Amino acid sequence: MVATTELDRMTWYRCEKCGLLVDSEMDAEQHEECCDGDSGSPSYWW
Ligand SMILES: [Zn+2]
């Protein structure tokens, strides 16, 4: 599930599996589909 975070008056979307922050909800959702979880090394970046 994608979580939202506000930083510098911008909304960021955070992957709850690995903690990756992106500025687009669509990118975050796409990332999460490919994310391999809490290994610390995302399989998909941007
Ligand atoms: Zn992730």
- Please report whether residue 41 resides in a domain: no
Q: Give the pLDDT confidence score for residue 36 in this predicted structure.
A: 82
Residue 11 CA, ligand 1 centroid: distance in Å = 17
| pTM (two decimals) | 0.69
- Please report whether residue 7 resides in a domain: yes
Domain span at residue 23 reads 2-34
Residue 28 CA, ligand 1 centroid: distance in Å = 8
- Please report whether residue 15 resides in a domain: yes
Please state whether beta strands 21-22 and 10-15 pair in parallel, antiparallel, or not at all (unpaired).
antiparallel
Residue 1 CA, ligand 1 centroid: distance in Å = 10
- Please report whether residue 14 resides in a domain: yes
- Please report whether residue 44 resides in a domain: no
pLDDT, one tens digit per residue, over 1-46 is 899 999 889 999 999 888 899 999 999 999 999 888 765 555 555 5
CA separation for the pair 6, 39 (Å, rounded): 25
- Please report whether residue 22 resides in a domain: yes
What's the total number of domains in the chain? Answer: 1
